[in-house]
Structure 1
Amino acid sequence: MTEREFPQVNLASERLLLRPFRAQDAADVHAVWQDEAYLRFAPAGHAAAGADLQLAVEWCSGGPIFAVERSADGRLVGHVTLFGTDWTRMVTEIHYWTAPWGRGSGYAAESVRTVARWALITQGIARIALMAVVGNIASIRVAEAAGFRFEGVQRNAAMTRSGRGDLAGYSLIPADLEG
C-alpha cells in the first residue's frame, strides 16, 4: 500500500499567499538562515548557516511545504510545513519560521492557523502538534495566537543550535475549531 501524501496546494488568508517555494525565494531563505534570532532556536542538525533553498526544502520533506508570501507586495515573509505525519493515526506536527522583515506583524500565527485549519478540515487530520523551545517566547506566542492549546513541557527534549532545552508542547484538534 502506498503511503498517503498531502496534496500540493496554494492556500490564502486575509494577508498572505501560501505556495510552494520558487527559485527566486533563495536569497530570502538564505537571509533568514543567517539571522541570529532564527539560528538561536533552530534545531540541531538543521542546515548550516550557508543553506540554500534546495536544502531548506529537503530538510522539511515529508509534508506540504509552504512559502509564506505577503499578498500586498509578494515578499517572502515565512515558511510553514507539516511533517512526521502518521496517516494511520491521522496526526502530524507543524513547523514554521518567520523572516526578520516579517516579524511582529502576526504573519506567523496567520499562516500557521491557515495551514492547520486546512489540514484539520479538508485533510481529515485529527491532531496537529506544535513544539516550541520554552525560551522561544515568540514561537510560544504564535502557537497561542494560532489557537493551539498548551499540553505540557517535555524536559530536556530539544536539541537546538544553542544546546539542550525544554520543549513546550501544544496541539490543535478539530474540536478546538468549534466556537
Structure 2
Amino acid sequence: MMRPAETFPRTVLSTGRLLVRPFTAADAPDVHEAWQDAAFVDSAPVGYPYAAADLATAVAWCASGIEQRRLDGKGVGFALVPRDGGRLAGHVSLFGADWEARTAEIHYWTAPWARGRRYAAEGAAAVARWALTECGLQRVHLQADTANPASRRTAEAAGFQFEGVLRSLAPTRQGTRADMAVYSLIAADLRPVRAAPPERVTG
C-alpha cells in the first residue's frame, strides 16, 4: 500500500459497467445539464455554488477546476461513464482530505438520464476502495440527509456502514434544519471479504 501522500494520483478506474475517469472539457454540457436538474438543485446543500451555474462555469470546472482540487491535495473528482458508451452517468468526488488523519469525505450524484441503475453506488464503491487500498487513507465517510432515502440507499449499496444521525446539522432551502445520517467505510472493513482494488486502466 502507498504511504499517505499530499495529493491523490491521477488515474482511471474500471468497474463492471463504468469507466471512472477524470473530467474533460467535453463533459461540460452534460455536467451543466445535470446541475440544472430540479432534483439535483433540491438536494444540493444551501450555498452550493453550481446549482445555478452557466455553461462557461461548467467548462472551467471540467477542464481545470476539479483537477486543481487534486493538485492542491484537497480531493479528487471522477466522471462516471458507461464502458459501452453513452453520456456521462454521474460524478464521484473525494473532498476535505486530511492527510495526517488519513480521512476524506465522499460525494456523488447521478445524471437525471442515468438514474435508477445504481451507477453512483458502483462508482462510489470503486473510488472509496481505491482510496483505502492504494492511496493510504484509513477512512472515507459521508453525510446524507435523513429525508433523502435515495442517497442513503446509494451509501449502503456501496458498502458504507451506518454510524448514526447528527441532529439538526444542516440548514435547508426550506428554512428548516436537516438531520444527517453518517456513513463510513474504513480500511478494516475491506479485510474480511478480501476485496481487491478496482482494475486500473491507466496510471
TM-score norm. by structure 1 comes to 0.91
Specify the code of the residue in structure 1 equivalent to 2:110. T
SS at match of 1:33: helix
CA contact (8 A) 2:92 2:123 kept: yes
1:18 CA displacement? 1.0
**In the alignment, what sits opposite 2:78?**
66
Question: Relative contact order: is structure 1 or structure 2 higher (C-alpha 8 Å, sep ≥ 6)?
Answer: 2
CA contact (8 A) 1:40 1:160 kept: no
1:22 CA displacement? 1.2
Specify the code of the residue in structure 1 equivalent to 2:41. L
Specify the code of the residue in structure 2 equivalent to 1:6. F
Deviates more, 1:163-172 or 1:75-84: 163-172
1:160 CA displacement? 4.2
Match of 1:22 among 21, 24, 34: 24
**In the alignment, what sits opposite 1:35?**
37
1:45 aligns with 2:47: yes
C-alpha distance in structure 2 between counterparts of 1:23 and 1:160, whole Å = 31
C-alpha distance in structure 2 between counterparts of 1:167 and 1:59, whole Å = 26
Decide whether aligned partners of structure 1 residues 33 and 155 sit closer, same or farther in structure 2, where only a CA change above 3 A counts: same
CA contact (8 A) 1:85 1:92 kept: yes
1:48 CA displacement? 3.5
- Identity of aligned pairs, percent? 52
Return 5+ residue gaps in structure 1 as ranges.
none
1:58 CA displacement? 3.9
Cα shift readout 1:106-127 (whole Å, capped 9, x = no counterpart): 1010000000010000112100
1:150 aligns with 2:152: no
CA contact (8 A) 1:39 1:161 kept: no
Match of 1:80 among 78, 87, 92: 92
Matched residue count: 177
**C-alpha root-mean-square deviation of aligned residues, in Å?**
1.8
C-alpha distance in structure 1 between counterparts of 2:108 and 2:171, whole Å = 17
SS at match of 1:27: helix
1:34 CA displacement? 1.0
TM-score norm. by structure 2 comes to 0.81
C-alpha distance in structure 1 between counterparts of 2:52 and 2:35, whole Å = 6
**In the alignment, what sits opposite 1:132?**
144
SS at match of 1:76: coil
1:45 CA displacement? 1.7
Match of 1:167 among 180, 190, 199: 180
Cα shift readout 1:4-46 (whole Å, capped 9, x = no counterpart): 0111111111100111111111111111111111111102221
1:96 CA displacement? 0.7
C-alpha distance in structure 2 between counterparts of 1:48 and 1:115, whole Å = 24
Return 5+ residue gaps in structure 2 as ranges.
194-203
